[in-house]
């Protein structure tokens, strides 16, 4: 495999010590040494999610499995879900909710904008009680930060549970599960945690677990049934499926690095370098597509100057500089890039390499 610098929407660069952890000898998933490591992962995830939730672990699948796990456990056929849709990942939430047999009422906004909390309040005020409100915190398709804290407050006032997708936000910008009142929050390993893709950190509040306990129908999915999985991650250690040992080694080391740096220091690093990237892109003639005031530092959508050929230049960045950026999706396809500055990719020297390479391919276009 070639050596790349990863500035796409994920995966991000992985620290050498995390790669080394993946190569450790495999032990059994019920080995006393391994279950101790599971406990430490649970504890570190609680710190990173800022929660005291006992039910905090990593799904044996990617962040998308985390999304499905959140919804498939909470929603029963006929339940109503109000879902904020501001891009691809909000649409995915609605699609999964429908497959759970729920009525998915979407609150949509134009690409590049954030959902207005008042729209959520309006949706909750009409159309019958909602079991939950779901929203993507950092919408990876648009680069927009959504007002999760206000939406959570409004949802709780209406008696709904709150599901938040923190795939691209966790460990990059503030995520505060308990203070914000999030009931289920899930993430992926390959964004700001800078661990290879393959696991979905997730946390369920006691209120969410009570709602799941009150279900009158079985959870559609056996693989993602949180009631079964917590018997393995909890004190009972009941076999459910064979845990992905090596990926969990990597997550353990990745979380250690995050906590070693400090969460707030890590947020600051993303904030500072993201702002610098925005300034440099603007100076080079890019147009930032996320609404001002809602721009994510770790994921930037930017239209290329002068209608430049995004695909061709993106290919040149990869081939000539070993640098990956992502192409635009949906409304931004064909004219914009998605540039990630996440975790190990979000370092001053790497940012310099990135913007210098962009300048070089633009200059000779």
Give 117 or 328: the residue with its C-beta nearer to a second copy. Answer: 328
User: According to CB under 8 A, which one of 43, 129, 222, 334 is a site residue for a second copy?
Assistant: 222
Minimum Å distance from CB 48 to a second copy?
19
Rounded CA separation 263/49 (Å): 10
Task: Single out the residue of 22, 25, 29, 27 nearest to residue 229, CA to CA.
Answer: 29
Minimum Å distance from CB 325 to a second copy?
9
Residue 193 near a second copy by CB under 8 A: no
User: According to CB under 8 A, which one of 39, 40, 95, 210 is a site residue for a second copy?
Assistant: 95
Touching a second copy, residues 114-173 (CB under 8 A): none
Rounded CA separation 42/29 (Å): 15
237: region left, alpha or beta (phi > 0 left; psi from -120 to 50 alpha): left
Give 51 or 230: the residue with its C-beta nearer to a second copy. Answer: 230
Touching a second copy, residues 21-80 (CB under 8 A): 22-29, 31-34, 37, 60-65, 67-68, 72
Minimum Å distance from CB 326 to a second copy?
8
Stretch that binds a second copy, among 152-160, 174-182, 222-230, 265-273 (CB under 8 A): 222-230
Touching a second copy, residues 1-20 (CB under 8 A): 1-4, 6, 8, 10-11, 13-14, 19-20
DSSP code, position 26: P
Q: How many CA atoms lie within 13 A of 360 on its CB side?
A: 13
Residues paired with 185 in a beta bridge: 164, 203
CA distances from 305 to 8, 310, 335 (A): 19, 10, 9
Residue 7, C-beta contacts closer than 8 angstroms, at least 6 positions apart: 323, 324, 325, 339, 340, 341, 345, 350, 354
For a second copy (CB under 8 A), the number of binding residues is 64
Whether the ω angle into residue 71 lies within 30 degrees of 0, i.e. cis, is no
Minimum Å distance from CB 27 to a second copy?
5
Residue 240 near a second copy by CB under 8 A: yes
Give 42 or 61: the residue with its C-beta nearer to a second copy. Answer: 61
What's the token pair of residue 17? 């010590």
The answer to whether 148 touches 166, Cβ cutoff 8 Å, is no
Stretch that binds a second copy, among 196-204, 230-238, 283-291, 300-308 (CB under 8 A): 196-204
Rounded CA separation 233/54 (Å): 10
Residue 237 near a second copy by CB under 8 A: no
End-to-end CA distance of the chain: 28
Minimum Å distance from CB 246 to a second copy?
4
Burial 266-299 (b: 16+ CB within 10 A, else e): bbebbbebbebbbebbeeeebebbbbeebbbbbb
Give 93 or 154: the residue with its C-beta nearer to a second copy. Answer: 93
Give 28 or 129: the residue with its C-beta nearer to a second copy. Answer: 28
Task: Point out which residues bind a second copy (CB under 8 A).
Answer: 1-4, 6, 8, 10-11, 13-14, 19-20, 22-29, 31-34, 37, 60-65, 67-68, 72, 92, 95-96, 98-100, 188, 190, 196-198, 218-224, 240-247, 249-250, 318, 324
């Amino acid at each position: 495999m070639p050596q790349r610098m990863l500035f796409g929407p994920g995966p991000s660069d992985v620290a050498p010590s995390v790669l080394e952890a993946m190569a450790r000898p495999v032990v059994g998933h019920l080995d006393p040494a391994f279950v101790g490591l599971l406990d430490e992962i649970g504890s570190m995830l609680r710190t990173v999610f800022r929660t005291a939730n006992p039910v905090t672990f990593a799904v044996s699948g990617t962040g998308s499995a985390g999304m499905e796990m959140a919804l498939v456990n909470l929603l029963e056929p006929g339940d109503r879900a109000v879902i904020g849709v501001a891009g691809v990942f909000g649409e995915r939430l609605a699609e999964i909710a429908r497959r759970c047999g729920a009525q998915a009422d979407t609150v949509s906004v134009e690409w590049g904008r954030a959902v207005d909390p008042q729209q959520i309040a309006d949706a909750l005020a009409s159309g019958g009680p909602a079991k939950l409100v779901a929203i993507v915190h950092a919408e990876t398709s648009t680069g927009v930060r959504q007002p999760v804290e206000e939406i959570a407050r409004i949802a709780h006032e209406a008696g709904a549970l709150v599901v938040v997708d923190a795939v691209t936000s966790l460990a990059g910008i503030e995520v505060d599960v308990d203070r914000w009142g999030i009931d289920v929050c899930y993430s992926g390993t390959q964004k700001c945690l800078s661990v290879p893709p393959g696991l979905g950190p997730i946390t369920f509040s006691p209120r969410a677990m009570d709602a799941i306990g009150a279900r009158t129908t079985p959870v559609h999915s056996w693989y993602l049934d949180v009631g079964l999985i917590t018997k393995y991650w909890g004190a009972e250690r009941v076999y459910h499926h064979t845990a992905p040992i090596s990926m969990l080694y990597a997550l353990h080391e990745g979380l250690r690095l995050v906590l070693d740096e400090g969460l707030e220091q890590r947020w600051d690093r993303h904030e500072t370098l993201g702002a610098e990237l925005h300034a440099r892109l603007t100076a080079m003639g890019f147009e930032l597509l996320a609404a001002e005031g809602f721009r994510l530092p770790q994921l930037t959508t930017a239209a290329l100057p002068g209608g430049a050929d995004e695909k061709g230049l993106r290919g040149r960045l990869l081939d000539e500089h070993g640098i990956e950026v992502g192409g635009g999706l949906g409304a931004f396809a064909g004219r914009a890039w998605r540039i990630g500055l996440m975790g190990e990719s979000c370092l001053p020297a790497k940012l310099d390499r990135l913007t210098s390479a962009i300048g070089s391919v633009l200059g000779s276009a």
